[in-house]
Structure 1
């Protein structure tokens, strides 16, 4: 979601001053636009302010994130939503507060994995690979799920395929793009 520069151009200089304060609560892209608008309106800036806003390559919104990071995160989100479907389908297994708590933690962890993948953090694909490796230990349970409850088994297989797909996309990202994103 980007910042609408035209919206900021309609603001008064006094309103834009709030954007360029060091403790500003606004996103960096909005701060940068406010700086540029105020500069075009003739406001003079201190050396410190100029340094803070002229170093654009350090701003997170200017960093290039390879599209495979976004695709992988979307696939991981789908996998988590399928996990929610699994829980709904087998709601009777959530018969204690501990099981409910663990299920919520696992789902939150899945959402966190997808979120951090979308940020383009290069080393995160190795975390996903290790976790996927541990997940392969559950193959016998998936096979028994297919026999006992085909819906759950099929959902688990789809989740596994989606996770493999996400990992393949992450490992297909060229190293030159990864070096740009490693410090995000």
Structure 2
């Protein structure tokens, strides 16, 4: 059960002082909030109380770090994105020397963006599934124009592009099948 600051703000100073005692039965969250309220009320803490507050904050930070869980589907989806980016490097390197500097810079930015998306997915940032979906749909729409030419003149790059599209589609499926936190 979590403590609400609005509830604790209604308490008087004497009651809040009971909250911040090390032997009190209240949760660490409630104790930290009580410390915050007393600070806002300009209460002067003893050195012992200040040390206890520091200890509570360290415990809270450790608790947050221990509870940090990244769903395995984020890892799998990021692997698909990284493999897709690796294939992009291979495809890009086939005609690297036949391109002008603007195309090389644009390709490097595109590949860097894919690696960045993969990295952020691996960190468990859920909004990246929407970003990947938007880029994927834009890529598919734009590919309708150049894919027939790619298949005829550059069949290896066309095959790599199709494999990349499949990998990115799989990553999107994995990302959208991750259960929401709290369910």
Q: How many residues align?
A: 132
- Cα separation, 2, equivalents of 1:73 and 1:125: 10
Deviation digits for residues 13-66 of structure 1 (CA, Å, limit 9, x no counterpart): xxxxxxxxxxxxxxxxxxxxxxxxxxxxxxxx922431222113323x631111
Q: Which runs of 5+ in 2 are unaligned?
A: 1-49
Is the Cα–Cα contact under 8 Å of residues 75 and 162 in structure 1 kept in the other structure? yes
Over the aligned positions, Cα root-mean-square deviation in angstroms equals 1.9
Which contiguous aligned blocks of 4+ residues in structure 1 show a shift greater than 6 angstroms? Answer: none
TM-score by length of 1: 0.66
Gaps of 5+ in 1: 1-44, 180-184
Q: Is contact 2:129-2:175 (8 Å) kept?
A: yes
2-side partners of 1:128 and 1:93: how far apart? Answer: 29
Residue of 42, 47, 51 corresponding to 2:52: 47
Is residue 53 of structure 2 the alignment partner of residue 79 of structure 1?
no
Calculate the TM-score normalised by the size of structure 2: 0.66
Which has more radius of gyration?
Answer: 2
Q: Distance in 1 between matches of 2:81 and 2:120?
A: 11
Task: Spell out the pairing of 1:6-155 with structure 2 (5 A cutoff).
Answer: 46-55=51-60, 56-59=62-65, 62-94=67-99, 96-137=100-141, 138-155=143-160
